[in-house]
Amino acid sequence: MDVVINEKARQALNRLAAMPGMAQVKDQVEQMIQFRRVAELRKKNRLKNQPQSNHMVFTGNPGTGKTTAARLIGEAFAEIGLLNRKGDEVPFVEINHSKITGPHVGESEKNIAAAFKKARGGVLFIDEAYAFIGKSEHRTDEKVIATMVQYIEDLRDQIIVIAAGYPKNMAEFLSFNPGLASRFPNSIHFPDYSIPDLVRIAQQMLLDQEYQPEQDYLDTLASVLWVEKSKPNFGNARTVRNHVERSIRRQSMRVSQMVQPSRKDLAALTAADIVHSPAGVQASEREALQRIIQEAQGRLFELDLRSILKV
Ligand SMILES: Nc1ncnc2c1ncn2[C@@H]1O[C@H](COP(=O)(O)OP(=O)(O)OP(=O)(O)O)[C@@H](O)[C@H]1O
Ligand SMILES: [Mg+2]
């Protein structure tokens, strides 16, 4: 099998690289591909090889792009020839514990088997994989895990299995069964996005839909996200998507009041279109934020003054 990065694979990798904050993920995937390429060349030259595994663990908080990256990586791997597939489509099957488990004996194993078969030639994405090992006081799913391990092994040339979840939980998942850790040698961490990355993501989402965010929109969004980011359960890019959708709705209400909105009016988003967090930014937080902004403005003013006075 030749491992060649063709045009379509390159496109999928470029789409990944174009996503703000994904450069590291793309580099890691490229490394995996090059490793596989060299392994295949070694095989051709009858040199010893470690067994290769395409399976991966993705760790990261909600909304850090794990599912999105998994799809693109699946497309790239299928194009490169790392997956034996039949048609043009690259299947992407996403499962989680509640989708798989059922009340009847043997039902979960049957569902797992069906999911693996459906994902042949593509990606089986197991979200919150650690849920399959149950709680420490109530381990019920050993049979399901055993079935999983069996299929991961049997279909290793046809499927990439990506198991995703929080870092701590994933470590627990991998140590649950000795077969698991060795089958998932590749691990990619998706860090929380920085505020500039989140703003870039919003900008990209808006430009894709032919909206033009003005500077005051982006500045206000940055301060709102700055407050929201410190709260538990912050949804990273998903929170950004929600903001974007809500501001598009609010903008259309604002524009509908205009007698004859211009093309520019129809595209522009301003700070007035931002809906602060659904419950409203807490008054105290808003005050704290205002204070910080005032302080920063004060410092800027001082700097300007110094440069004018040359002190
Ligand atoms: N770097 C990015 N650039 C643009 N959009 C992004 C980026 N990362 C994520 N998104 C968007 O944010 C949303 C959430 O991303 P995704 O579903 O991939 O996150 P996730 O890590 O799988 O989240 P969860 O753990 O909650 O399943 C999607 O709408 C996706 O398109
Ligand atoms: Mg996801």
What domains can be seen in the chain, in order of their start residue? 7-190 (3.40.50.300), 195-280 (1.10.8.60)
Confirm or reject: Cβ of 66 under 6 Å from ligand 1.
yes
Question: 50: how many CB neighbours lie within 10 A of its CB?
Answer: 9
210-217: list long-range contacts, CB under 8 Å, 24+ apart.
Answer: 210/267, 211/248, 211/251, 211/267, 211/268, 211/269, 212/264, 212/267, 212/268, 212/269, 213/268, 213/269, 214/268, 214/269, 214/270, 214/271, 216/270, 216/271, 217/247, 217/269, 217/270, 217/271, 217/273, 217/274
Calculate how far, in angstroms, residue 69's C-alpha sits from the geometric centre of ligand 1: 8
Calculate how far, in angstroms, residue 44's C-alpha sits from the geometric centre of ligand 1: 39
- Could you list the mean pLDDT of each consecutive 10-residue stretch along the chain, which spans 311 residues? 81 91 88 87 90 88 93 86 76 91 86 93 92 68 85 89 91 87 90 95 97 97 94 93 97 96 97 77 64 80 76 63
Which ligand is nearest the CA of 24, by number? 1
Residue 155 vs residues 119, 152, 162, 183, 246: alpha-carbon distances, Å: 10, 6, 13, 12, 43
Q: Is 57 helix (H, G, I), strand (E, B) or coil?
A: strand
Measured by CA distance, the residue closest to atom 23 of ligand 1 is 63
pLDDT for residue 142: 78
CA 178 to chain centre: 28
Calculate how far, in angstroms, residue 69's C-alpha sits from the geometric centre of ligand 2: 9
Q: For residue 21, count CB atoms less than 10 angstroms from its CB and return exposed for 0-12, middle for 13-18, buried for 19 or more.
A: buried
> Mutation test of ligand 1: which of 238, 239, 240, 242 has the most ligand atoms closer than 8 Å to its C-beta?
238
DSSP designation for 194? P
Confirm or reject: Cβ of 200 under 6 Å from ligand 1.
no
Confirm or reject: Cβ of 21 under 6 Å from ligand 1.
yes
pLDDT for residue 83: 78
